[in-house]
Amino acid sequence: MKKLNDANFDKEYVDAMVKDHEEDLTAFQGEAKNGSDAEVKAFAAKTSEMIKKHLAMVKAAQTKMK
pLDDT digits (tens, 9 = 90+) for 7-60: 788 999 999 999 999 999 999 999 999 999 999 999 999 999 999 999 999 999
The answer to whether residue 22 is domain-embedded is: yes
Q: Is 33 a member of any domain? A: yes
| Domains in the chain, number | 1
Domain annotation covers residue 39? yes
Residue 34 falls inside a structural domain:
yes
Q: Is the pLDDT reported for residue 1 higher than 80?
A: no
pTM: 0.86
Residue 13: left if φ>0, alpha if ψ -120 to 50, beta else—which one? alpha
**Farthest-apart Cα atoms in the chain, separation:** 47
Range of the domain at 40: 6-65
H/E element, 61: helix 38-65
1 in a structural domain: no
